[in-house]
Chains A and B, each alone.
Chain A
């Protein structure tokens, strides 16, 4: 069974979101997603300062099986990309909710995040899928 921490929010495209202070959120992909994708071989993180619409593709994770887009959960601006992933894409497999975070962004409005799922809803969503 994959890990689904209670203190995070989740999207239907299998990103997790941690809400920090000052409209900043941290985004990565879930344990379920990394297990489904398999061993990561390449990650492209967004440039700091990039403006994004909600649900805009802004990163790519490439595994031995496939390449997948990562979407922004809400409109906003990229604050940082995880530069460690360039040399160590396996961090996403090893520690998806910690060292394997993908980007941080400042969202225009945290209300835009209400559509995300809580841990319980995401677990049900994964079961159904």
Chain B
């Protein structure tokens, strides 16, 4: 129920009204509105209850397990939040002079240096406002590199068929042509086919490692050699960095440019869709094109570098140097973990994934890449259950909600039919993983005994199964006050 539907004319929360009324008598009569604005009129207690109840309907990492593969929905320590909100950070004006911003700039400079070290890149810019912008910046740099060399015919970008959809979208946005590299049966990029695809038209390769299939690209050194020998560059999508953090470095694998989703791997809640932050890292070849602004240090002093410092930069990605709050959270998180702590993130993320994968297999589930070690996530395919019991991955996902778990990612990657992409993350304990495995086993039994239990799920959530087909076909995102009347009319009819 919307708060507008609880509204009753004349009701108000007087105690919450501002004590000092603003004098606004000098507004000309012609500019004054004639009718009252449409606002909900409720008591203080009604407002408190309404929003408290809404918050209770939320599903969040603070209340339950959230194994959403490919998204790294891990717990973000409270300390990151509170330290990023120290009064000095919160009150700092983005246009402050450098001389009074040394504390903040120092944090960003250190963050750049640490990220460069942990990824094996030469320089980092923190200007990207989101993962998509980080990708765009990376591919723009590759384009700038080829253009500067007069290599104008390099217009093809190779993307594995398992890639995130953002990769081909980025390449297209940068005016490139996308060619899809097939994956072999074991989940690796098909290197033999890749070798036949490269040539003087190759601008570069976009790769996520570990891949979206939940496995490490074992022949990465041969892949990067193949691309470099053909004159192309390698772009690293940092979506799955959590699995190798502090353990393996994209720079050592031969990547020329990377973007990291700081909001995934480095502690910012991002389930609501933002804000995010992309750290963009470059190797030697692309250093001249690094986006601005980023922080440079001269002697003891930090300052923003701009177009004057790097004339060949692809340009400015954000007005004030990135999403300050996200960058500070990432900085605090990294400093709390330290070098060894970052390695533990990768160790526990992969340990948890491999443990849960083994439990799932014991429970009779089919793994998409059986025999491969999982990275920080793994894929279960419910193709057999769909065929034998008409129980789809979506049905399992919906039923999981009744067992108190958020569903894993469904139907991605597209290569694996009826798949669940499960990422437990490093912050979950063994009991939680066991509970999830048990819930999946029970659902599997339900699928065999009475599939209707799955088909009608969820039954315990505030909303039952939503009509996602209707929602996609008749998208309606704008609420209008007169809809209350329309809805009332519809109910009568």
Residues in A lying within 8 Å of B, measured CB to CB? 36, 39, 41-42, 64-68, 89
**Chain A CB within 10 Å, residue with most, of B412, B414, B417, B473:** B473
Chain B interface residue bracket vs A: 10 to 19
Nearest chain A CB to B20 CB, angstrom units: 52
* Inter-chain contacts of A39 with B (CB < 8 A): 469
Q: How far is the CA of A36 from the CA of B165 in the complex (A)?
A: 19
Nearest chain B CB to A55 CB, angstrom units: 11
Q: Which residue of A lies closest to B411 (CB)?
A: A65
Interface flags for B471-493 (1: CB within 8 Å of A; 0: not) read 01100000000000000000000
Residues in B lying within 8 Å of A, measured CB to CB? 165, 410-412, 414, 417, 468-469, 472-473
A-B interface pairs (CB < 8 A), number: 19
Q: How far is the CA of A68 from the CA of B411 in the complex (A)?
A: 13
* Inter-chain contacts of A89 with B (CB < 8 A): 473
Nearest chain B CB to A67 CB, angstrom units: 8
Nearest chain A CB to B306 CB, angstrom units: 39
A64–B417 contact, CB under 8 A? no
B468–A64 contact, CB under 8 A? yes
10 A–B contacts, CB within 8 A, in A order: A36-B417, A41-B472, A41-B473, A65-B410, A66-B411, A66-B412, A66-B414, A67-B165, A68-B414, A89-B473
Q: How far is the CA of A84 from the CA of B367 in the complex (A)?
A: 40
Q: How far is the CA of A64 from the CA of B468 in the complex (A)?
A: 7
Q: How far is the CA of A65 from the CA of B468 in the complex (A)?
A: 10
Nearest chain B CB to A68 CB, angstrom units: 8
* Inter-chain contacts of B165 with A (CB < 8 A): 67
Q: How far is the CA of A39 from the CA of B469 in the complex (A)?
A: 7
Q: How far is the CA of A66 from the CA of B412 in the complex (A)?
A: 9
Q: How far is the CA of A36 from the CA of B410 in the complex (A)?
A: 13
Question: 17 extra interchain contacts, Cβ-Cβ under 8 A, other than A39-B469, A66-B412?
Answer: A36-B417, A41-B469, A41-B472, A41-B473, A42-B472, A42-B473, A64-B468, A64-B469, A64-B472, A65-B410, A65-B411, A65-B414, A66-B411, A66-B414, A67-B165, A68-B414, A89-B473
* Inter-chain contacts of B468 with A (CB < 8 A): 64
* Inter-chain contacts of B414 with A (CB < 8 A): 65-66, 68
Q: How far is the CA of A39 from the CA of B411 in the complex (A)?
A: 13
Q: How far is the CA of A98 from the CA of B468 in the complex (A)?
A: 25
Nearest chain A CB to B408 CB, angstrom units: 15
* Inter-chain contacts of A36 with B (CB < 8 A): 417
Q: How far is the CA of A85 from the CA of B472 in the complex (A)?
A: 15
Nearest chain A CB to B366 CB, angstrom units: 15
* Inter-chain contacts of B412 with A (CB < 8 A): 66
* Inter-chain contacts of A66 with B (CB < 8 A): 411-412, 414
